[in-house]
Amino acid sequence: MLMRHGRSLEAAEAAVPETRTFTGNRGLEIEEGLIFEIGRPENTGVDLDEPAPFEHRLGSLERQEPSGLPGLSEPETMRHYVRLSRMNYAIDAGIYPLGSCTMKHNPRLNEAMARLSGFADIHPLQPQASVQGALELIAELARWLMVLTGMDAVAMSPRAGAHGEACGMMAIKAAIAAKGEERTRKIVLVPESAHGTNPASAAGAGFEVRPVPARADGTLDPAAVQERLGPDVAAIMLTNPNTCGLFEKDIVEIAALIHEAGAYFYCDGANFNAIMGKTRPGDLGVDAMHINLHKTFSTPHGGGGPGAGPVVLSPRLAAYAPVPFLCREEGGLRLVEQQSEAPGAFGRIAAFHGQMGMFVRAYAYMLSHGADGLRQAAEDAVLNANYVRAGLRDLMSEPFGDRPCMHEVLFDGAWLKPTGLTALDFAKAMIDEGFHPMTIYFPLVAHGAMLIEPTESESKASLDLFIAALRHLAFAARRGETERFAGAPYQAPRERLDETRAARNPILKWTKPGHLKAAHEGRPRAATPFTIT
């Protein structure tokens, strides 16, 4: 085989026996050190005058040695963080199919709106008369959340999904206490497929968690719920569609059973993006549900921004909503901040009234999509998941039978078993092919779970590429090409991490190395530290 200019390719390959480079860099991907390794205390990005002589009152507390904090010039600082950011993966770089996480595109329109001065440059403690526009946006967002869910009230302050769960469970606790049943109703039923936060939120609110097994089709059996209901049950926490990507078709019957038993129905709204505009949780009998604005309503998350988890409440729980909440009065909107004004409120769960920047983005997403657009977003999310399912179901195995899914498709590890490979091996090999892996080993009800959620953001072309890559890998696994998987990823900035060692002996603190060589130890890329000769 010849290269274009006539020299043998074999000879060229022989001259560079390894893919490792002299510098440790790969192409223009720079192998970047920690800031402590590259910064020098004598460097600075700003030129400040030496302070004039002054007296201090630190006494013996005065530092005797320089702190040794790393200093960098402005271009060094920029390069450091840009280089690190290039080792990261983001929804802006490609498909991010993490099941249960809803990594959908964050529209740029949302960002432009969030940067408007009237939203971006305000402070939660400034006079309410001066932020009526921002309060109006919160009120409008709250109204549409209630319309979309068919619920009576909404607590806007919860900061994320699990915080919303805590809020909902505390409202339920307050309602039970108001009926004088706080000593008897101590049990919360949680299906085995639940998000881990559900039992944690229930336990955190002081309840005792009882698991409910799923039936063979992956959904919850009303009979299994009824069996466990009694005067000691406070609530059930159910996700719909559930974490297996399946719609709980008996949800109305389950809700009726729960209400009959005098208990409350908490719905984990993490998967509301699959049913938004199609059905209303209020009509299904839900009493409380959090809405992940950072999932369903496209606000950035997963390192890109804070979450926001408003909780909608049914008439049975509305009176117990926490402060603060908005009240429309003659002079405009006013935040009700004191519990003395809201005697039923169970209290306050956050310092201020919520994630303003996320409210603006979520509202922009709502308005730009409109009622038909939101419905289509849900439909497209379900369609895309089923397209992926149809493209892979002949090669991979489905734990609950061959039938349509909702917004995410769940495969299990049964098909991998004869190959000797694990879901982890398969996921790591996806990284080499340029795809962020799906969620693996969740939900726990499926052995070797692989949960794929493409979201509505992906085009058919994008899904076709994704499916093709997974099919290539699945065939390679079946052919027994184990070396392709065993140490994967081979192409990433870091190769396979030793998760066991990382968990058993975590290194939680950087310690100053004795010399340059030590600083490079444990960095698998460069064979020897690159030195300038």
Partner 1 sequence: MPATHYTKSHEYIRVEGETGVVGITDFAQAQLGDVVFVELPPVGQSLSKGTEAATVESVKAAAEVNAPVSGTVIDVNSALGDKPGLVNEDPSGTGWFLKIKLTDAAELDSLMDENAYREFLKTVS
Residues lying near partner 1 in the complex (CB under 8 A) are found at 441, 444, 499-500, 503-504
Instruction: Collect all residues with Cβ–Cβ distance below 8 Å to 390 and sequence separation of at least 6.
Output: none
Using DSSP's 3-state secondary structure scheme, residue 222 falls into helix
Residue with Cβ nearer partner 1 (322 or 443): 443
Nearer to partner 1, 63 or 504 (CB): 504
| Cα 209 from chain centre | 24
Nearest approach in angstroms of CB 505 to partner 1 is: 10
Residue 81's H or E segment, with its range, is helix 74-86
| List of residues 6+ apart from 188 with CB closer than 8 A | 169, 199, 202, 207, 208, 209, 210, 233, 234, 235, 236, 237
Buried b (16+ CB within 10 A) or exposed e, 429-442: bbbbbebbbbbbbb
176 vs 187, which CB is nearer to partner 1?
Answer: 187
Nearer to partner 1, 56 or 504 (CB): 504
Specify the length of the chain in residues.
Answer: 533
Least distance (Å) between residue 496 CB and partner 1: 12
Cα 480 to Cα 202, 438, 484, 496, 506: the distances in Å are 45, 22, 9, 20, 34
Q: Which is nearer to partner 1, 328 or 501 (CB)?
A: 501
Residue closer to partner 1 by CB (options 28, 503) is: 503
Q: Which two tokens stand for residue 39?
A: 């910064």
DSSP 8: B
User: Shortest gap between Cβ of 227 and partner 1 (angstroms)?
Assistant: 16
How far is CA 348 from its chain centroid? 25
Longest dimension (CA), the chain: 89
Name the nearest CA neighbour of 311 among 157, 173, 195. 157
Residue closer to partner 1 (CB basis): 441 or 530: 441
CB of 152 to partner 1, least distance (A): 37
What's the closest the beta carbon of residue 499 comes to partner 1, in angstroms?
Answer: 5
Q: In the complex, what is the shortest distance from the CB of residue 418 to partner 1, in angstroms, rounded to a whole number?
A: 13
Tokens of 504: 């058993």
CB nearer to partner 1: give 144 or 411. Answer: 411
Q: Which is nearer to partner 1, 24 or 199 (CB)?
A: 199
**321 closest CA partner among 458, 145, 480:** 145
d(CA 414, CA 426): 13
Tell the smallest beta-carbon distance from residue 379 to partner 1 (Å): 34
Q: Is 131 exposed, middle or buried (0-12, 13-18, 19+ CB in 10 A)?
A: buried
Minimum CB separation of residue 199 from partner 1 in Å reads 11
CB of 91 to partner 1, least distance (A): 26
